[in-house]
């Protein structure tokens, strides 16, 4: 599979633009989001106008066609900002991957292209209160003429309150396993659907989350993505696999922000006549953070490249990258907070927000327990091994 290239001068200018925005206006927006608990429409409009919601999609869908592995360089920078800003850029630059290969021309025009343009918001809708790994979903549909009738509950759905459409996976009534799953790109709030705002979270403040209840909701069949039986192929391969790599890189970006804050504070804070940066214990924290970030980033880049090439190790590496990156992020942010001592516990310091936002990535796009199952299965069956990965 050929991987597209970028104009390096233009790409460097784009990276500089994002970095400057994150350090300046981005911090102002972050403070406003923390104060209000909401992402204002003006911020969404600014991200759209800057073209940051359509970085990765191909030109035929209205995007800028930046290759996945290079797009991650941009997401890394954006992830140094507020968690809700990163979430918008990450999700909108990803949902088209699941929808486009399976969408009819009509769905491309109604849902996919407007999503890439930032005119419509699509929420990825998989997790259920008692199910979340994919094949165990119980939200069901049955075919009645030109409609499917949906029943069930989804929860922890990011953007589920404000979304215009839902990228949702369900299963045919009476089916089990993967073969009975069906995916839709359906309008939110169809008659019979209840949307419950469940947005009061520890971190990533401002991003709305919903509980969605469906009771005999009629979904026109024209909103189906692909064929019956392809539901998990759409949800897992089309969205979750690359999204896990994206979450991993966002963990790198946030860890780098925590490291920057810790280094800056260690140079300013003086105890017993000497800056913290000159104390060995603080230097050890900073050195450990540096090594962990660099190691995780290397694995993520490898995962991105195998995904671009369609290599057999892509799924295992996607989960491995996410698994390693979020564990790294937990350690790095904890070390960074420790450098601040008690001061880091107060909300007036950015490290406090970074610490809270970091915790969400431990379960975003699947917990590490799920990632370990994916990696273990691939390793045991021989679908992925370290020799093949290193020689790729």
Residues 224, 167: contact at Cβ < 8 Å?
A: no
Q: Is 35 a catalytic residue?
A: no
Give the integer Cα–Cα distance in Å for 237 and 389: 19
Buried b or exposed e, range 76-104, using 16+ CB within 10 angstroms: bbbbbbbbbbbbbbbbbbbbbbbbbebbe
Distances (CA, A) of 25 to 40, 288, 352: 14, 31, 19
From the list 103, 91, 82, the residue with the least C-alpha distance to 40 is 82
Handedness of CA 59, 238, 215, 210 (dihedral sign): negative
Catalytic residue among 46, 313, 365, 387: 365
Give the integer Cα–Cα distance in Å for 129 and 30: 30
Give the residue numbers marked as catalytic: 365
């Amino acid at each position: 599979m050929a991987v597209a290239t970028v104009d390096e001068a233009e790409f460097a200018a784009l990276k500089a633009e994002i970095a400057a925005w994150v350090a300046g206006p981005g911090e102002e927006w972050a403070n406003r989001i923390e104060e209000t608990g909401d992402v204002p429409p003006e911020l969404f409009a600014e991200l759209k106008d800057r073209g940051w919601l359509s970085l990765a999609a191909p030109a035929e869908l209205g995007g800028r066609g930046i290759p996945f592995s290079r797009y991650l360089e941009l997401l890394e920078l954006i992830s140094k900002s507020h968690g809700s800003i990163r979430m918008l850029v990450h999700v909108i630059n990803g949902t088209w991957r699941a929808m486009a290969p399976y969408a009819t021309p009509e769905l491309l025009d109604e849902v996919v292209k407007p999503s890439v343009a930032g005119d419509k918001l699509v929420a990825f809708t998989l997790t259920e209160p008692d199910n979340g790994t994919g094949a165990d979903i119980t939200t069901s549909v049955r075919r009645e003429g030109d409609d499917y009738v949906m029943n069930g509950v989804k929860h922890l759905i990011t953007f589920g309150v404000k979304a215009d459409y839902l990228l949702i996976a369900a299963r045919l009534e009476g089916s089990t396993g993967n073969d009975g799953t069906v995916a839709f790109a359906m309008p939110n709030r169809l008659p019979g659907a209840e949307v419950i705002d469940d947005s009061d979270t520890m971190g990533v403040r401002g991003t709305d989350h919903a509980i969605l209840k469906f009771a005999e909701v009629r979904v026109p069949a024209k909103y189906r993505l692909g064929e019956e039986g392809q539901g998990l192929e759409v949800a897992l391969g089309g969205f979750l696999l690359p999204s896990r790599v994206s979450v991993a890189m966002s963990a790198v970006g946030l860890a780098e922000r925590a490291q920057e804050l810790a280094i800056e504070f260690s140079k300013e804070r003086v105890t017993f006549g000497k800056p913290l940066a000159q104390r060995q214990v603080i230097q050890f924290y900073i050195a450990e953070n540096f090594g962990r970030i660099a190691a995780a980033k290397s694995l993520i880049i490898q995962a991105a490249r195998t995904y671009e090439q369609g290599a057999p190790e892509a799924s295992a590496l996607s989960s491995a990258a996410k698994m390693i990156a979020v564990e790294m992020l937990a350690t790095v942010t904890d070390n960074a907070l420790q450098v601040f001592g008690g001061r880091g516990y107060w909300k007036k310091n950015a490290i406090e927000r970074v610490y809270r936002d970091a915790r969400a990535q431990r379960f975003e796009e699947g917990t590490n327990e799920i990632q370990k199952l994916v990696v273990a299965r691939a390793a045991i069956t021989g679908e992925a091994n370290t020799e093949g990965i290193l020689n790729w």
